[in-house]
Structure 1
Amino acid sequence: MTKVDFYLLTSHQPQIRERFACKLTEKAYRLGHRVHIQVEDQSQAQKMDDLLWTFRQGSFVPHALMDTEGAAETPVLIGYEGEPGAGMELLINLCREVPQFFSHFPRVAEIIDQDENNRHAGRQRYRDYRDQGCSLETHQLSI
């Protein structure tokens, strides 16, 4: 059964979802987990790629865009089309909808900020995961 953690952020900072995704990715990577970050499109994928290099001084998170050379061996992948390969342990979903392949992951992270559209889409994803029988947990974070 997939465990889904919803991280509810109270901050109104720009890019807070993406920055928190970077922090979560770094933590999972340091614990030895393979991470897939699912985004909406190529533009958002490129922004996440850039942000993973710059979100925190001194941070190093080896990552690649899905379907690029060497991506299969990289511990962190960013994708927007297609399904990631086997062996990924954490899905960080930054899309408006639940990815069809979410059940291939033991853990999923959903990050909800204060934007009303994101909150509404997040509530729908919560219902979708609940209807699929996932184990759900919510974390309120003041960042």
Structure 2
Amino acid sequence: MTKVDFHILPAFHERDRLNYVTRLIRKAQSQSLDILISVEDDEHRQMTSEAIWAASPDSFIAHETIGSNFHPVQISIDEDCGEHHQVLINLRKETPSFFSRFERVFEVVSQETEILNASRARYRFYKDRGYALAKHDLRDRV
């Protein structure tokens, strides 16, 4: 069964949330896991891609939008999640319908009101269905 981790950030800005996502990507890549990042729309996809490109001048995170080529990190704006079954990083306000195909789901939550409220609804959704939940509250580490 899918394990869901909520990473609760002290940040309010999307830029900070995306910087944290790059840390999650690096950790998953160190374990040779494939990653799909689910985003709201094309603008959000572009912003996410740019954040990944800019993550570190010393290293490169190969990634692409879902397509014919395969990279271990892909970004999707729709229900097409390709062949991935390992790690889903959800940056949408809604729970993607395909989340249960993945071994792990990372929900990255900022303190921006709309994102925070949507994450609470997703938490209840997973909890009501009996999914294993973990909470990593990074607000205590500031």
Tell whether the structures are fold-level matches, with TM greater than 0.5: yes
TM-score, normalised by the number of residues in structure 1: 0.91
| Off by >3 Å, runs of 4+ in structure 1 | none
Distance in 2 (alpha carbons) for counterparts of 1:27 and 1:119: 24
The farther-off stretch of 105-114 and 43-52 is: 43-52
**Structure 2: stretches of 5+ with no match in the other structure:** none
Contact 2:38 2:77 survives alignment (8 Å): yes
Identical residues among aligned pairs (%): 35
- Counterpart residue number, 1:55: 55
Give the aligned CA root-mean-square deviation in angstroms.
1.4
* Residue aligning to 2:105: 108
Spell out the pairing of 1:36-51 with structure 2 (5 A cutoff).
36-51=36-51
Q: How does 1:1-143 map to 2 (within 5 A)?
A: 1-67=1-67, 69-70=68-69, 73-141=70-138, 142=141
- Number of aligned positions between the proteins: 140
Give the TM-score, by structure 2 length: 0.92
Gaps of 5+ in 1: none
- 2:65 & 2:49 partners in 1: Cα distance? 7
The 3 A distance-change label for structure 1 pair 109 and 131 is: same
8 Å contact kept, 2:79–2:96? no
> C-alpha displacement at 1:14, in angstroms?
4.9
Distance 1:14 1:40 in 2: 13
